[in-house]
Each structure stands twice: as structure tokens, then as C-alpha cells.
Structure 1
Amino acid sequence: MTATIDGAALLNEVEAFHRRFNVFPSEAAYVAVALWDAHAHLLDCFDSTPRIAFLSPEPGSGKTRALEIVETLVPQPMTAVNASAAALFRSVSSGNGKPTILFDEIDTVFGPKAGDNEELRGFLNAGHRRTGVTYRCIGDGGQQTVQAFPSYCAVAVAGLGSLPDTILSRSVIIRMRRRARNEQVEPFRARVHEAEGHKLRDRLSAWAEHARGFVMGAWPDMPDGVTDRPADVWEPLLAIADAVGGTWPERARAACVTLVTASRANDKGSVGVRLLTDLRDHVMTGIDRLPTVAILDRLNSMDDAPWADMGGKPLDNRRLSKMLAEYMTADNEPIASRNIKTGASVLKGYYAADLHDAWQRYCPPPPESPLPPLPGAENLV
């Protein structure tokens, strides 16, 4: 009879193994990474798999080392640096078991000096879901046929800067930073320490077989406020935490709240959402209407905003109108400028009442107080 494996104690050891070689930015990061390692052994139990992204503004922040430690702990690791989308989706669909893809230097693929790499972005996005496939034409000339390649697999990435929004929203983000002088770690020596990691990996695999019945079909309770895509990202990790027990369910949910909150704070959204938010928080605060010329003057004078340099030119009336017309008023009409009487003249401008519905739907909560309702809105159903 096989001895029961203490999942909580095992995950404690996995976390301790990471702590020996990496200084992560928070306790939440250690929890998330250990849970992610374990979830890679149970991919077939989940509807989706979160990407985990080690990102930093500068090199020398421990990103590659983090991937090296993860590599020793996950099943069938496949290290990819500048790999093509074709190579990756063929590896995933080869029938030899799903690799865990570890993509280092991801900034060379999606960074400011790289191209769009839509094929790779599409692969990473599609592979987030168990049903995700990548379609390609196979054959020559008129004999080509369309073939679906399964793309579902666990992916960890590391790189400088950021990632496309569609990948960030599917990821647990670990914002790495350089170690301070008083932060010491043990040097990682592959010849010595890989074997230790592999022993933990094999024990994780054995635990996963015992836990499969518990994890399959589990619907873990989400912390308040974690919904939609963040809930998809964290559901597998919380299911793992509930399966191992001990202090992990509580620690996992605390980590979830911490990292989801941090990701929202760093999420500037699209340029359209940024425009709406700046109009609400910096331009039209306490004002029910404002001429376009005054709006542009205020936007273009903001030091930490992109409006003064939109492709080499400041934001102008035409572009402002085009951007705001993408959003609707409460009456489901495109937001548009209207006449505003200013003394003896009439100028074109925008009304807060027209923007209010878009502010509520798209913008993050205001920094200090909730957005007040429009007069009379309390009577609307």
C-alpha cells in the first residue's frame, strides 16, 4: 500500500527550495510560484492554466534563476528562448505529453524593439484554455488542409519590461527586482541542485496522482472582488491549495488578493480607458462641462500622461473626438461634443453627463472616493 503524501508539507518544501535561490518581492509571490509548480502536474484537471510571468525593469533581478528553479520542479520542462510559434505548438501537440514551456528573454519577442509576433501571442493566448487550438494549413498548393493543433500547456515566461495586455491578463505577475545588499541567497549549481529539485518534482507528481480525484471538478471559493479573468487565472492555484490543506488555503487566498490588487494597480488599460480616467480624475473633476480647447490644454499639460506626444504630435480635437466616439453614453449614443455657451460665444465641448456611463463601466475606482451618481440617478431602475 502506497503511503499517503502530506501535500501541505510537500508544498512547504517546494517553497523552501525556491527561497534558497531567489528573493521574490513578496510572501504572496512565493505562495503563487509554489502553487503554480504543483498545478503543472495536474493540467488535465483544469479548464485553464495561468501563465506565470517574472518581469523586471532591469537585468540582474533573478528572473532567469526563477525559471531555472521552476524547471527542476515541473513535468517535461521545455526551455525556449526566441522559439517560433510553429515549434511550440508542434511540441505541445506531438503526442509525447504536454511540455511545460519556460520562455526566457520574452522581451526579445514582445519588447519595444521586437515585432508584433502575432503568431506567438495567439499561441500563448489560445493555450490558456484547455480547448485552445492553433489552426494551420498543412500540405502543398491545392492539396492543403486545415489542421487544428492543441495548444493547451503550462507556460512560464521571464523578461524585461512588460507583456501584451492579452498575455498579462492571463498571468500571475511576479515583479522581480534586484537583491538588496542584505538579501542573501544560496548559489544555484545545476550539477548539485537539479537532483534535489527533481526529487521534489517526482514527489509532486506522485502527490498529484493521489489528489487528482479531489482537484478534478473542484470549484474553489474566490476571495471577494476576484471575478472574471483574475478568477480564471487563480482558480487552478486555489484548487491546489485546497487539496494540500494546512495553511495553504488561507495563504493562497491572501496571495491572490495581494497579486490581483497589484496587477490592477499596474494596469493602465487601453489608451482609451486611460483617456476616460484622466478626464474623470484630472480634467473634469467637479465640472459638469468643459470646452474641447480647455480639455486638450489640460490633457496635453499632464507630465505623466501620453497626450502631449501621440505619435510625435499632441492630442488634437480630431483624435479626441474619434477616441471618445468609441464609447457610449447612457442612452447608447456615441460620446460626441456638444455646444457649450461661454458668455457671448458658443464653443464645442463635452459634458460629464455624457461621459458618466463610460466612467462607471471602464475606469478603475477613483483614487479616493467612489464616483458620485448623477443627480436623479437614484430614481432610475
Structure 2
Amino acid sequence: MTTEPAAVEYDGAGILDRVQATVQRYCILPNRHAVTAVTLFIAYTHAASVFDYAPRLVLSSPEKRSGKTRCLEIIGHLSHRPLWTANASTAALYRSLARPRTLLLDEADTVFGTRHKAEQNEDLRGLLNAGFQRGTPVIRYDASAKTVMELHTFAPVVLAAIGRLPDTVTDRAVNIAMRRRKPGEHVEPFRVTRDVEPLQALAYELDCWITDNHETLKHARPLLPVYDRAADLWEPLVAVADLASGRWPERARHAATGLTADAATADADHSPSHELLLDTRAVLEQFEGDFIPTEALISRLTRIPDSRWQDEGLTGRRLAILLRPYGITVGRANNRMRDRGYHHRDFRDAFARYLHTPEPTPGPGPAMRPQPADTTTQPPDQQEHV
């Protein structure tokens, strides 16, 4: 008579707690939202095969020696089938993604840092962009075989860079702004010969727990506090948090809200048009009446403390050019035909679409934790370098 092996019950919240503690042992992250995001991203890589989107994780800083490479290294040792991509050809990467891997790209600024470099690495950029969503292979023609090939691109990606990466990359990423350690902030030194084995043991336990719950994660539809592209990014991470339960569901949603707001602020700083919408809304909230003359709007915009309009200057023509893509055009007041300006009502649609506070994405709520099942997962593959 055969005896069924005993089911293994995992403490998902406890496993995530230990992943977080391990990350914080070796890395200084900027805030609690960043700690939560990195922890959940590591766990998510072990379940990437069941989700439709593969979020990117971008570690950026204004200067070197800000802990990006060390954080990338720790993430790699804890992630699913890590693939270090330093000096790898794009062709080699394409052929390594028959099954999802966790791609790790250090010094990504050397790939995308200038227009010339970006043009030289357009194939790699295409891989990173296409691999965000399942079912978007890259099509290539093999001249030697005289055939068209579909190459897999779907994979989680971690990038470390000095400065800002292209918008097409950061828009698909959870972005963490790393900072140099202050005196008094201490981390443990990391040594491969001494410290890798405990990390791999933790990665194996994480992989067993996640793999045992693939079906639950595959059908999870967590309630999200963000929308559109941000919801695509955060759905896998929040689903993992809901599976773990405990304090993780709440922490995941706070991190999603906080880091998405940070990204929106960074986008506003990067995009003059978006910053103009934000500043115009602030002006119109203090302005009485439905019509504001162009000169009055410019005057108020340039008086906003620390605004770019003080430094760069703003003319009526530039104002019109920046607002036109949002469907906002210059007009005249009904009772003073000489005054050219803008009706308050013309901004409402743009404000609602681009500046509104997001409502939670509909869903049935947190993923339910399933009954434990037998664990047959093998240890994760050793890290490979291409």
C-alpha cells in the first residue's frame, strides 16, 4: 500500500519577510515602498510564466557608487533562472528565452545613454519593450535557413543605470531611485564564496512556494489602486502579496500607489506638456471666471515658485503648441473679442484623462490562498552568464 506524501504548507508571508531581510542586509533602498517592491519583484520572477505581463525593475541613480550593482546582484541570486547579460549579444539573448528567465542588465546607461548609443542598440531596446507582454515575439529572417523565425522575448528584466533610461523602458518598469549611503548607514559585505549558498537556498524555498501556487496566481485578479499601464506592472506583484497574506497585501498596495505617484512626478519633470497641465490646473483653481486671457495665464505660470517657466520663458505661441496635443486651443472671450485666451471648460477633458486620481481597477478582491499541495519543484537552475 502506497502512502501519499504529506502536503507541504508554506508560510508565504514568512518567506517574503526573509527575502526582505536578506535584501536589506546587503542593500540600502530609499524607502519602505522600494523595499516592498524589490521583495515582491523577486518573488514574482518565480511565477512569471503564469502572468500576461513581465514588469521591469529599474534601479537608477544620479551618480555611481549608489548600490545599484550590489542590489542587482542580490536580486539575481534570489530570482528565477537569472541570466546576466553583460556583453551579451542581442541574438544570444533572444535564443535564451524559450522559457522565461530573469534578465539582469548592469550599466544600462552605456546602452541607452546617448542618442547614438540608443540607435546602436535598437534591437536590445526592441527586446526589452516587446518582452513586457506575453505573445509579442520578434520576427527575424534566417537567411541561411531561408525561413522566418519567431523569437521569444517575454521575461522579467532588472536594469541598473546612472541617469534616466528611455521613456519606453521606464514606462514599463517599477522605478527605484537609488542613493549613495550616508555615514552611519551600514550594510554587510557580500562575498560570493560565502554568501551565495544561503541565498540560493532561500530562492529554492521561494520557488517551491510560488510554484505550488501557480494555478492560484494564474487566475488571480487582485483589486488594484492604480490603473492602465501601472496596473499591468503591479498586478503580478500584488497577486503575490495577496497570496502571502499577512501585512503584505496592504504594503503592496501602498507601494503601488507611492511609486506610481513618484513616477508621475518624474514624468512631469521630464515632459513640459504634462508639467504645463499640472501648473495650469493649479492656476485655474485660484482663478475666478471661465475665461483666462493668454497673458494672464502666462503671468501666473511664470510666478509659480521653481517652475520651469521662470527659467525657460513662456510665450503665447509656445503655450498654444504645448496645449494643442491635448485638444486645447486658444479662443476668444464672448464679451471681449480682442482678448485671446482659454476657456476653463476646454481643460476639463485633459485634466480628467491625464491628471485624475485613479480609481481602483475592478476585480473580485485579493487572491484566495489555496490548500497546500505536494511539492515536486526541483531546485532552481544555477545562474548562467551569457
TM range (shorter): 0.7 to 0.9
TM-score by length of 1: 0.80
Q: Which residue of 1 aligns with 2:345?
A: 353
Matched, 1:124 2:128: yes
**Residue 219 (structure 1) aligned to one of 214, 218, 221:** 221
Q: Which residue of 2 aligns with 1:133?
A: 137
User: Is the Cα–Cα contact under 8 Å of residues 284 and 290 in structure 1 kept in the other structure?
Assistant: no
Q: Which residue of 2 aligns with 1:74?
A: 79
User: Which amino acid is the alignment partner of residue 190 of structure 2?
Assistant: F
Structure 1 vs Structure 2 CA RMSD: 3.0
User: Which amino acid is the alignment partner of residue 253 of structure 1?
Assistant: R
Displacement of 1:236 in angstroms is 1.0
Displacement of 1:65 in angstroms is 0.6
- Give the Cα–Cα distance (whole angstroms) in 1 for the partners of residues 87 and 294 of structure 2: 46
Where does structure 2 lack aligned partners over 5 or more consecutive residues? 358-386
Moved more, 256-265 or 201-210: 256-265
Q: Which residue of 1 aligns with 2:243?
A: 243
Q: Secondary structure at the match of 2:164?
A: coil
User: Is the Cα–Cα contact under 8 Å of residues 283 and 299 in structure 1 kept in the other structure?
Assistant: no
Matched, 1:180 2:182: yes
User: Is the Cα–Cα contact under 8 Å of residues 339 and 346 in structure 1 kept in the other structure?
Assistant: yes
User: Which amino acid is the alignment partner of residue 128 of structure 2?
Assistant: L
- Give the Cα–Cα distance (whole angstroms) in 2 for the partners of residues 70 and 98 of structure 1: 16
Identity in percent? 39
- Give the Cα–Cα distance (whole angstroms) in 1 for the partners of residues 167 and 306 of structure 2: 20
Change (3 A) 1:145 1:318: farther
Q: Which residue of 1 aligns with 2:332?
A: 339
User: Which amino acid is the alignment partner of residue 151 of structure 1?
Assistant: T
**Residue 22 (structure 1) aligned to one of 7, 15, 27:** 27
Matched, 1:325 2:324: yes
Matching of residues 283-302 of structure 1 within 5 Å: 285-286=286-287, 288-296=290-298, 299=301
- Give the Cα–Cα distance (whole angstroms) in 1 for the partners of residues 251 and 320 of structure 2: 47
User: Is the Cα–Cα contact under 8 Å of residues 267 and 274 in structure 2 kept in the other structure?
Assistant: no
Displacement of 1:77 in angstroms is 1.3
Where does structure 1 lack aligned partners over 5 or more consecutive residues? 329-334, 366-381
Q: Secondary structure at the match of 1:355?
A: helix
Displacement of 1:17 in angstroms is 1.2
Q: Which residue of 2 aligns with 1:55?
A: 60
User: Which amino acid is the alignment partner of residue 77 of structure 1?
Assistant: P
Q: Which residue of 1 aligns with 2:379?
A: none
Q: Secondary structure at the match of 1:17?
A: helix
TM-score by length of 2: 0.79
Change (3 A) 1:214 1:337: closer
Change (3 A) 1:259 1:358: closer
Q: Secondary structure at the match of 1:172?
A: strand
User: Is the Cα–Cα contact under 8 Å of residues 283 and 298 in structure 1 kept in the other structure?
Assistant: no
Change (3 A) 1:28 1:337: closer
Q: Highest relative contact order (Cα 8 Å, sep 6+), 1 or 2?
A: 2
Q: Secondary structure at the match of 1:262?
A: helix
Change (3 A) 1:209 1:340: closer
Displacement of 1:258 in angstroms is 3.0
Q: Which residue of 2 aligns with 1:261?
A: 261
Summarize deviations over 1:332-366 as a string: whole Å, max 9, x none: xxx322235998x824333323233322322356x
User: Which amino acid is the alignment partner of residue 320 of structure 1?
Assistant: L
- Give the Cα–Cα distance (whole angstroms) in 1 for the partners of residues 100 and 34 of structure 2: 25
Moved more, 11-20 or 118-127: 118-127
Displacement of 1:64 in angstroms is 0.7
Q: Secondary structure at the match of 1:105?
A: coil
Change (3 A) 1:59 1:139: same
User: Is the Cα–Cα contact under 8 Å of residues 137 and 144 in structure 1 kept in the other structure?
Assistant: yes
Change (3 A) 1:339 1:265: closer
**Residue 101 (structure 1) aligned to one of 83, 100, 103:** 103
Displacement of 1:51 in angstroms is 1.1
User: Is the Cα–Cα contact under 8 Å of residues 289 and 351 in structure 1 kept in the other structure?
Assistant: yes
Displacement of 1:46 in angstroms is 0.9
Q: How many pairs were matched up?
A: 348
Q: Which residue of 2 aligns with 1:45?
A: 50
User: Which amino acid is the alignment partner of residue 343 of structure 2?
Assistant: Y
Matched, 1:203 2:185: no
User: Is the Cα–Cα contact under 8 Å of residues 101 and 155 in structure 2 kept in the other structure?
Assistant: yes
Q: Secondary structure at the match of 1:267?
A: helix
Summarize deviations over 1:13-61 as a string: whole Å, max 9, x none: 2212111101112222222212211111111111112111112222221
- Give the Cα–Cα distance (whole angstroms) in 2 for the partners of residues 184 and 31 of structure 1: 19
User: Is the Cα–Cα contact under 8 Å of residues 284 and 344 in structure 2 kept in the other structure?
Assistant: no
User: Which amino acid is the alignment partner of residue 322 of structure 2?
Assistant: M
Matched, 1:279 2:280: yes
Summarize deviations over 1:98-151 as a string: whole Å, max 9, x none: 3210111122233357644443333222211122222233327xx965432221
